[in-house]
Structure 1
């Protein structure tokens, strides 16, 4: 048998594969570029972190300032609440007292106005001699009653804020007791004599 033919395979190797470092300067420059890129990226990251830190510190200061203002408000709120609550309570009491006093003043006014009307209707000049004693007694009764009411009102309101309404008038009676009654009776009986005596005296002086 003839021998088998031999097959030869030629392996082609690129020159670039055989040259491990064809340009050292370019490789070094490429490495420097990589380092610089990493440094720039790190610096940018540090700058971002610094900005974040500053932002967090700013927010922290803002929160602390707000907390300070909040505490100030809470203190002012408590103080104002206590002060205004006490004042409102006093005003409520004052209003109640004033309303009660106004009602009492209205009643007092009605009473005094009634007595005033009665006093103003009395006209001593219209009294005749026959009914003089009766008219005087009746008039003095009206006056005494009015004076008694006025004195009681002045005494009562002297202890209130309306004391100046009565101009410092003291509780007193114009005529009261046995002396007043005797004086009125004596005046009633002696008034005609006094009047006649006065007329006679005037006539004597005119002559």
Structure 2
């Protein structure tokens, strides 16, 4: 996740402001001193992530200063480095990308959860999240997000398939959260839903992915 954020920033693509905090550095400074350094450069609310994990494992949403240290401790249970990111309030949109030299973005999906957070439980429990296709945004915004998704996929050297996750703030500005190079393929997953919306049923989708892999 950290390498992805750096590459997105280098490519000039919009991604929330972030910092990385190594566990040994934080222990040397002291958790409270490290927290104050973050507060001097970033404003609440924040998102603290374990950067090598997936499915929102090791992630915390920090709305109060007193919760920041426990969020770091959770991230350090999984990784030696924590990714601290500015929280973006708004709509959660995901763009699935398919292809090699000429990747294309599949129909976008807006994610709405019953819990308000698209966490591990919401991702893998049927009925806890709703996939809205097309998302409740203008066609112009959809095209902007699709274009950004393809740019991000190319910037990271993506091939075959990927999923680019966005937050759309209240002013309509899209921010790339991350690029998932091995998107889920379960009954509740986003990528198969996006493919189906494009007229690609699951058996054909798998066939296309295999053919793209052989091209590589």
Q: Give TM class, smaller chain.
A: under 0.3
Max radius of gyration: which structure?
A: 1
What TM-score results when the alignment is normalised by the length of structure 2?
0.14
Q: Which has the higher contact order (CA 8 A, sep 6+)?
A: 2
Structure ranking higher in strand proportion: 2
What TM-score results when the alignment is normalised by the length of structure 1?
0.15
